[in-house]
Each structure stands twice: as C-alpha cells, then as structure tokens.
Amino acid sequence: GESVGLHLPTLSVQEGDNSIINCAYSNSASDYFIWYKQESGKGPQFIIDIRSNMDKRQGQRVTVLLNKTVKHLSLQIAATQPGDSAVYFCAEILGGGSQGNLIFGKGTKLSVKP
Amino acid sequence: DTEVTQTPKHLVMGMTNKKSLKCEQHMGHRAMYWYKQKAKKPPELMFVYSYEKLSINESVPSRFSPECPNSSLLNLHLHALQPEDSALYLCASSPTPEPEKLFFGSGTQLSVL
C-alpha cells in the first residue's frame, strides 16, 4: 500500500504486505530528516533518520528514501505487521539548525488488517 | 536506562488550579524539551532547555512556566489554564541540542475543565 502523506492521512494495508508512507517536506535547505512512530497512548518513537548527503538508508524492516530534487521523503516498511499500526510522522531540520528547528509533518495513520 | 519518564500520566484540573508536570531522564542527555500535542495533530514545540538553560520559548503563554532543576529533571508548572490548553504534553530529551533523534516520554494527558 502507498500513501501520499499530507493528502491521504490514512493508509490501510494487509498484514504481510509492504507499506510506503510518503512525505513532502517544506524547505530545500533542510538537511536532516527523521521518521517517528506514535502508537496510541504513547509518545513518538524514533524509527530511522537520514541526512541530506544520502539518498537511502536501511534499518530493520524499514527503508527511508530521500529525493532532494522534489523534496520528497518516504518510509518503506517490509512485511507489515499488526504491531506497525500507528501514526507515522516525518520531521525535518533546517541546515545549521538545532533540535529547536525540528518541523513535524502532519502524520499518516497506518492500519494493518490481519 | 533509556527511558524518559513523565508523571502524572493523566491530569484533570480546573481553571483556577496550580499543577506541575514532571519529566525525568537518566541518559545523561543535556537537552530537554516540552511539546504540546492536540489530538490527530503533530507535536508542537513549546520550550527547549540546553545544558539546563532555557534556550527556546516558542511564544508560549505565561500560564505555562518551565523549570529545569538539574540535568535530569524538567518540570512544567501550570496555572490558570484554559480549556483549550487540554492536550497531551510530551517531554523529550536528546544527548545535545544538535540534530539527532529525540527520546520521548509517554506524555501527560491534560484536561482543563
């Protein structure tokens, strides 16, 4: 399943399928990007990050892709599991900025159907 | 210990009450943050403490008063709040104020009556 982030805040996928969550970030000067997962009743949890000198970074079952040309970030989750159900936020920090310049996107809710 | 602990988990208060939210981390992090999160919205930054000094105040009303007694503790004092201040208040920390991942607590769900 694939979402378009800001324009489709809910993504529903079948357990075992791959999920793609997209994010259009706002500033071409941003050079650090992070994905957070927030489960119901909990605070955001770090998933993966990427700096602007990279196009791709892989973690355990997750991959982040960065396309600076079109200011687009995506999170791919392989073999989606029920425990992946959550709201996913992308976030960006402007180049030379500190954590105080962290900008969160609006979020995408991922629902995994058994 | 890789946790950020927030207390209480839930708080109901009247508009004339004074209450405090508490946050604690023992990871040796030198930057701590308060965020406010409304339902179905992303977190919004309120305050940043860097090396126990307030470095950022995002134009937060004075009815919210942060305090950092030491490098492990962060408080948010609440006084004369409004119903629209009802939200999830999240504390976070990071090793430094430089761009890197944040460690969030589970938040305090605040209701102002």
Tens-digit pLDDT profile for residues B61-92: 999 999 999 999 999 999 999 999 999 999 99
Helix (H, G, I), strand (E, B) or coil at A100: helix
Query: What pLDDT is stored for residue A12 in this prediction?
Result: 96
Collect the ranges in chain A with pLDDT lower than 70.
1-8
* Domains of chain B: total: 1
Domain ranges of chain A: 5-88+105-113
Q: Report the Cα–Cα distance between both ends of chain B, in Å, rounded.
A: 36
Q: How many CB atoms lie within 10 A of CB B41?
A: 13
- Contact across the interface for B42 and A89, Cβ inside 8 Å: yes
Handedness of CA A84, A90, A96, A98 (dihedral sign): negative
Query: What pLDDT is stored for residue A102 in this prediction?
Result: 85
- Contact across the interface for B104 and A44, Cβ inside 8 Å: yes
- Which candidate in B45, B51, B54, B108 is best for mutational testing of the A interface (most A CBs within 10 A)? B45
Q: Which CATH class is domain A5-88+105-113?
A: mainly beta
Query: What pLDDT is stored for residue B1 in this prediction?
Result: 65
Query: What pLDDT is stored for residue A98 in this prediction?
Result: 74
In order, the DSSP letters of B74-94 are: EEEEEES--GGG-EEEEEEEE
B87's CB contacts (< 8 A; 6+ apart) are B36, B37, B38, B39, B110
Question: Identity (one letter) of the amino acid at B10?
Answer: H
CB A89 within 8 A of CB A80: no
Domain that holds residue B57: 4-112
Strands (E) across B8-61 are located at 10-13, 18-25, 31-37, 44-50, 53-57
Instruction: Give yes or no for B66 touching A (CB within 8 A).
Output: no
pLDDT at B107 over 80: yes
Residue in the structure block whose two tokens are 């599991």? A81
- Distance between alpha carbon A5 and the CA centroid of its chain, in Å? 9
Q: Which CATH number goes with the domain that contains B84?
A: 2.60.40.10
B98 neighbourhood in chain A, CB within 8 Å: 98-99
- Which candidate in A99, A106, A109 is best for mutational testing of the B interface (most B CBs within 10 A)? A99
Dist. CA A40–CA A38, nearest whole Å: 7
Dist. CA A48–CA A46, nearest whole Å: 6
Query: What pLDDT is stored for residue B109 in this prediction?
Result: 98
List pLDDT tens digits, range B15-38. 999 999 999 999 999 999 999 999
B53 neighbourhood in chain A, CB within 8 Å: none
Query: What pLDDT is stored for residue B98 in this prediction?
Result: 86
- In 3D space, the residue among A97, A43, A45, A98 whose CA is nearest the CA of residue B49 turns out to be A98
Q: Helix-strand-coil percent breakdown of chain A, rounded to 5? A: 10, 55, 40
Question: Identity (one letter) of the amino acid at A37?
Answer: K
C-alpha neighbours within 13 Å on the C-beta side of residue A96:
3
